[in-house]
Structure 1
């Protein structure tokens, strides 16, 4: 039987085009460009169905603006045509100043009205002239804009994005002296990597509806003096990630976040005052997730931070060698006759290169906050501390370089399931 005859009698030929299109959609994975082309090349019928199913062609598309020749621009034009009328997601993978292929750029700009998201490379520098041209486009569907790193020019003329009615997420890396203007008030997610604390703060004060914000600052200048309106309240902010390497890291003094739940502080060895953090936490009483990375906090500082987060359920410490010590671990130890520190704590993750604690002290603390299902069912009084859902311990590096806890440690915590307590055991 010929291949054509086999296809004619094949049961899949009887499937409605709508169902076949759904099957195609399930076959599209991480290699979506190859996957979409693969299903469209099986036969003419499949090609017709695939080409007339726009959602198969709308995943993030990497566009190399500096690609030589016309082949890529022709393929790009066909791909974008198949995605119509749905929004498309574009990522510029490489940009060299003065070397952009005009044919490729024009094909992308033709569908600017349908861009759902646009991302620029962070490791390269985006030509300011291109950014200005993008700002002049109508971007009616654009919800996410990541400008990456903009090439620095001595140009103080603002770049203004005005035709972006749906923009909600915005990211930029160190725009230099060129002001970037977006409709800040409509943003719900903001990511700024900037060496100007003043620029960061001026942008923040215009973002009244933020839900998630991530800020990275490496500047050494003072924060602005803005009068009597401190702190600025962000009434909807839920997640705040702050990555600092500054001489005067008093940034939290400027902010009030009454509904904040997730706080991540990457302090890069910055000396942090407990007073600043405590004052901020008093304005953020609903924190449930607290993360410190490379923080020069003492055990007392960490105890204070946890105590001022009464609803804390998740604590993550990375490279915090000065604070994860016996003093802090003792404070977490649960006793029936004492008010526990962090009574809601369920998840603890500690990653570090150096151990500054006693194994028995850590094992005893972990075991003190664990009860089996039978123990919980038979206890007449409910424990005043939550039971662990996850404890992850990793010291000394990764793989074979990771620290191995002793058999005594394993014996103290033997009642805890391996899917709750994860650590490297000494098997010698």
Structure 2
């Protein structure tokens, strides 16, 4: 304890170890309380009599000395501490000026007496193993860093989940670097590390830390490499690392165990060589790429000479960030035989990017694809028709803001005819069209719907070679310009009554929107 009368407290604790102390402790406590009552009655709050604080300290020490908790074995006491810590220390600990109170219970438990402090120091599980370090006007102070270091030391040797949040107020870069150093200096204990700040200056000077034996996930954003920077092997030796998210335009500057990753997100893709990096990701299951390839000449010609198969990939999201760019080189260079879900997004500006001439043949190589979503890409009727002919396993198709490809030819292509030897999209059950122009006839739409619909009691003979619709949604621009005829509305209502989820948004003259 660290107050003026702590000597009294520790003297009584020392006496409590003597034989027979417990017999006399209660009478000593009663005598001290009576004396305190007398001195309180004789004094006032503004000018207490001499010895008042000493009596308060003596009573506190005597109460603690005879408290039942003093008789608990160490393992029981530690279990109580654990329950207190679990109740009062939240899973993710934000070390900042306002929330240091979340750590006070642990510090207070360790400050009650030397015995409790010793117990707490031998129980690292009672100290936080998940921590967020924030850049703020307080976050780079020596006191802030001392608290962070103490907490990290006391949880040793357990693995850590560390987040460095660099989105706060602007601070001096040299001070911010101290926060990064606190996190980087415990790299050997990382299990998950997330940094929303530029750690490239550290990586330039850092030595390879050795095996990161606990590390399973990294999220590194805002990495600002120079063209002249040498690749960093800081994260290369991480035998358990399987999940990676990077936001950088130079993915090749960070050496990683690419072959063992199962979940990968790369934002800012644009640099030469990223396809060569992707070739190494032979275990990836979930992949998201955000960026663009401006021109083929940024890819080495030899890199595109063969088709590379990533046999485990099942979920792929591609987001183009520039109107004039494309992922077409990727479509030519890869095949994903286990791909199930594919999402393509573009910025949504007036000049939407082209989807690329290699996309239909790429789809043909993705034989397991069942869910395809395309938003804000420029496609004409021919390109969309080619897509429909190369999705034999697709069950769900979403087209959003693809304004110039949905017309009568699209719906006619999807209309099933018993004479079709190879019907387009034979497994398609869900169709979602959002933001399409009104370049189609309602009769053509209705014919397409009815050609692929039947009730359970009215199964057609011979059996159709296409799947039955489950859900159809069509909506034009906002607000929709389509005015549905009474005949179409009646047919749609009848199909709904039979069990089909079928909706076509129309222009409402009263409200002007949907």
Deviation track 1:92-115 (CA, whole Å, cap 9, x = no partner) reads 221667244466445434543343
Higher helix share: 2
Deviation track 1:262-301 (CA, whole Å, cap 9, x = no partner) reads 2223356333454x22332332222111122222222232
Supply the distance in 1 between the matched residues of 2:166 and 2:200 (Cα, whole angstroms): 15
Supply the distance in 2 between the matched residues of 1:258 and 1:146 (Cα, whole angstroms): 28
Could you say which residue in structure 2 is the equivalent of 1:170? 244
Is 1:346 the counterpart of 2:429? The answer is yes
Could you say which residue in structure 2 is the equivalent of 1:231? 307
Is the contact between residue 333 and residue 366 of structure 1 (CA under 8 Å) also seen in structure 2? yes
Is the contact between residue 293 and residue 318 of structure 1 (CA under 8 Å) also seen in structure 2? yes
Is 1:250 the counterpart of 2:329? The answer is yes
SS in structure 1 of the partner of residue 188 of structure 2? helix
Could you say which residue in structure 2 is the equivalent of 1:116? 191
Is 1:64 the counterpart of 2:134? The answer is yes
| Shift in CA distance, 288/69, structure 1 to aligned 2, threshold 3 Å | same
The unaligned stretches of length 5 or more in structure 1 are 1-16
| Shift in CA distance, 335/175, structure 1 to aligned 2, threshold 3 Å | closer
Aligned residues: 400
TM-score, length of structure 2 as denominator length = 0.63
The equivalent position to 2:467 in structure 1, one of 351, 372, 386, is 386
List aligned pairs for 1:196-215, cutoff 5 A.
Answer: 196=270, 198-215=272-289
More moved, 245-254 vs 341-350: 245-254
Supply the distance in 1 between the matched residues of 2:129 and 2:413 (Cα, whole angstroms): 52
Supply the distance in 2 between the matched residues of 1:260 and 1:70 (Cα, whole angstroms): 51
Supply the distance in 2 between the matched residues of 1:309 and 1:334 (Cα, whole angstroms): 15
Could you say which residue in structure 1 is the equivalent of 2:317? 241
Is the contact between residue 303 and residue 331 of structure 1 (CA under 8 Å) also seen in structure 2? yes
Supply the distance in 1 between the matched residues of 2:213 and 2:272 (Cα, whole angstroms): 31
Supply the distance in 2 between the matched residues of 1:172 and 1:270 (Cα, whole angstroms): 24
Supply the distance in 2 between the matched residues of 1:386 and 1:289 (Cα, whole angstroms): 15
Give the drift of 1:144.
Answer: 1.8
| Shift in CA distance, 158/355, structure 1 to aligned 2, threshold 3 Å | same
List aligned pairs for 1:25-174, cutoff 5 A.
Answer: 61-66=131-136, 67-70=139-142, 72-73=144-145, 76=148, 87-94=159-166, 98-101=173-176, 104-109=179-184, 111-121=186-196, 126-132=198-204, 136-137=208-209, 139-161=212-234, 162-174=236-248
SS in structure 1 of the partner of residue 201 of structure 2? helix
Give the drift of 1:344.
Answer: 1.4
Is the contact between residue 250 and residue 271 of structure 2 (CA under 8 Å) also seen in structure 1? no
The unaligned stretches of length 5 or more in structure 2 are 1-78, 110-115, 117-122
Pair member with larger Rg: 2
SS in structure 1 of the partner of residue 386 of structure 2? helix
SS in structure 2 of the partner of residue 416 of structure 1? helix
TM-score, length of structure 1 as denominator length = 0.73
Give the drift of 1:325.
Answer: 1.8
Supply the distance in 2 between the matched residues of 1:393 and 1:263 (Cα, whole angstroms): 21
| Shift in CA distance, 57/321, structure 1 to aligned 2, threshold 3 Å | farther
More moved, 307-316 vs 162-171: 162-171
Supply the distance in 1 between the matched residues of 2:490 and 2:430 (Cα, whole angstroms): 21
Supply the distance in 2 between the matched residues of 1:32 and 1:419 (Cα, whole angstroms): 50
Supply the distance in 1 between the matched residues of 2:333 and 2:448 (Cα, whole angstroms): 36
